[in-house]
Amino acid sequence: MTITITHLEGPLKDEVQTFGDDVDAVVFGRDREVAQVVYPPEYDIVGRRHFELRRTKAGDYTVELFGTRYVNINGKPADNAPVKSGSIFRLGGKSGPSFKVEIGAPAAADLPVTGKQEVMPTIDERIRRYVAYAGSAVAIALVGVIGYVVFLHSTFAQQIEIARAEAAAQSKTRFSEATLQMLEAAVYAVVKTEDGVEESKGTAWAFAPHALATNAHVTEAIKGHEDEFTLKGSDGKTYTIKNVISHPGYLAFKSFKTKLGTTRWGEFTPLDLINEYDVGIIEIEETETLPVLLKFASEEELEKLTPGTPVASIGFPVEGLAGGDTAASAPGTLHFGHISSLTDVFMVRAEPEHRLLIQHSVPVTGGASGSPLIDTSGKVIGLVNGGNTTVFKDTEDSVGAKVRLPSAALINFAQRVDLLEDLKDGKADEALAADETYWQERGKEFDDYFDVAVNEFKGVTKKRYQVGEGELVETESGELDAGKVDSFKLESKSYDFDVEPGKVYGFIADAESGVPIGINVKNKATSKFVRDAKDPRQTSELELAPTAWITVTEPTTLEVIVWSLVTRPAKYELFAYEWPTPKTAPSSDAGS
């Protein structure tokens, strides 16, 4: 068997080297003592001993890496798979040398040609097959074959567990040693120092010389306390944090989702969703440079992701684990798994461009927040940001604290990496505006908190004032926007409303953005705050649907004020209702 190296780019361009059956390994590098493919001594993008092509007993050639040297084959990091004839290699990086490897046929032997072989299904195919079988079992249950289904459920459940265990054991073989070493070198612990004690609080990873990625809930914790946090690399080196940036969608969706849910027997329950857009950036001083950077998967690659895709992650989990006291000085923890499902922000089926949530089986717990989730190419496809947990009350804590334990279901979550790319490129606000339109449309499939609140508002009025059906007489809409601020700012807007005796007036506002707002009412002539005597609340409260009731003994112009303490825009609608009071019912005066 011969192997031919045709140099395409670099100092050896246009040279052709051929090695025969007597050469079992071809070493590439600058060290003339050991390398067969020798680059000039000053060409330091190539290592002294960069890598070797080694022939296996089966006659294939595989890549043997030396340390963390960069070797790319056909656009992907080198792995342990046999090298195909015609493959294009590149060493050191984008500006490094490239060459084509052509592998000749083995020398003829006095043996018959190998016969056709049965194709072994991959682990991904086996997992999909078991899941399909399990689905078939459910279908059988629906037509009444109960006993057989119990047997099938038991059998297939065992097969799925076997497949999962096999996946965990075999996933590592999908990732080259170079990829895993690169991953480890690019990851940093987010460390908080309090009273001289270091605690690991999260994970970040480098994607630019002076910038790292993590979760928004990590950057929000750092914001305003940058001097208390540092970054610690796998080599123990510490970096100072200069600035943090959170994705604007993190707080926006966190507020919006509180308005949507399900209603049963008049009781509204918010949707139980993972926090989306949980993506942030940590910036370090430009005098410091991060040595190893991870690359993002392309938009096309992200939209082609499917359940069953092998993934890996490394981070600094500490919650509920031994060694928490020394975690800030510990190496990152490497885990493998598969993509379980791909959904939109509401955790339901969606077109590929809206599948921003990656559900996966990589184990996570507190401290792993922000860890990179990579595919077998070594590119980042997502940022780990949470998982399903079982919550227990801490019986030893007098204030009733709770303890979270990871769920055995191993359905955990990551944010798709293109959210980070938007934030990096300054396009997050623009992209979010389009996403919010999608929220509104998709949100129509769920119950809205305000619809429940209006029914309760009308019911309270009927009971409290003994009135009949009311009439909606006026609506106003607006937005409370404090602009770019780092802390809460009081914003308000006012509306005049003329009222008269003999009627009950009610006001209710819909916090459309999910940012709680309040309603205050003043007598415009005196600027005094007023509230009906039958309304037990004498001060305004911040709510998703704040209310106020007023009756008067003489014609009055009211000033209705919608207000909030905001850090981001709060859209709202204000609704004014009126009810004629029964003649037998005593009037209620407005009180301060």
- With cut-offs at 50, 70 and 90, classify the pLDDT of residue 398: very low
- CB count within 10 Å of CB 134 equals 16
For residue 172, what pLDDT is reported?
57
For residue 104, what pLDDT is reported?
84
Distance CA 476, CA 562 (A): 10
Q: Quote the Cα angle for 385-387-388, to 5°.
A: 155
For residue 564, what pLDDT is reported?
94
Polymer length of the chain: 592
HSE-CB of 177 using CA atoms within 13 angstroms: 10
> What Å distances lie between residue 213 and 71, 81, 386, 420, 431, CA to CA?
25, 31, 15, 8, 19
pLDDT in tens, 323-342: 666 777 778 889 999 999 99
Q: Which helix (DSSP H) or strand (DSSP E) does residue 180 occupy?
A: helix 177-185
For residue 485, what pLDDT is reported?
77
Q: Identify the bridge partners of residue 212 per DSSP, sorted by sequence position.
A: 206, 282
Q: Identify the bridge partners of residue 531 per DSSP, sorted by sequence position.
A: 591
Which three-class secondary structure state does DSSP give residue 569?
coil
**Residue 114 near residue 105 (C-beta atoms within 8 A):** no
* 591 backbone dihedrals φ, ψ, rounded to 5°: -125, 160
Q: Quote the Cα angle for 483-223-406, to 5°.
A: 115
- Residue in 385, 388, 406, 400 with CA at minimum distance from that of residue 319: 406
User: What is the C-alpha end-to-end distance of the chain, expressed in Å?
Assistant: 97
Residue 93: left if φ>0, alpha if ψ -120 to 50, beta else—which one? left
For residue 590, what pLDDT is reported?
45
Most confident option among 20-24, 170-174, 310-314 = 310-314
For residue 320, what pLDDT is reported?
72
For residue 159, what pLDDT is reported?
45
pLDDT in tens, 448-491: 999 999 999 999 999 999 998 889 999 999 999 988 877 788 99
- Residue in 305, 462, 475, 442 with CA at minimum distance from that of residue 373: 305
Distance CA 181, CA 124 (A): 25
Which three-class secondary structure state does DSSP give residue 325?
helix
- What six digits make up the tokens of 373? 């989730």
For residue 588, what pLDDT is reported?
43
For residue 326, what pLDDT is reported?
72
Distance CA 321, CA 236 (A): 21
**Residue 50 near residue 69 (C-beta atoms within 8 A):** yes
pLDDT in tens, 185-228: 999 999 998 888 888 899 999 999 999 999 999 999 999 899 99
> What Å distances lie between residue 2 and 22, 23, 80, 345, CA to CA?
9, 9, 20, 53
Asked if pLDDT for residue 277 goes beyond 70, the answer is yes
- What six digits make up the tokens of 371? 């860890």
Distance CA 243, CA 223 (A): 8
pLDDT in tens, 129-172: 444 443 433 332 333 333 333 333 344 444 445 545 555 555 55
Q: Which pTM value belongs to this model? A: 0.67
Distance CA 53, CA 83 (A): 9
Where do we find the tokens 């000033």? 559
Q: With DSSP H G I counted as helix, E B as strand and the rest as coil, what are the percentages for the chain, rounded to 5? A: 25, 35, 40
Radius of gyration of the chain (CA): 32
Percent over 90 (pLDDT), the chain: 56
Averaged pLDDT, 109-131: 51
- What six digits make up the tokens of 519? 């309603």
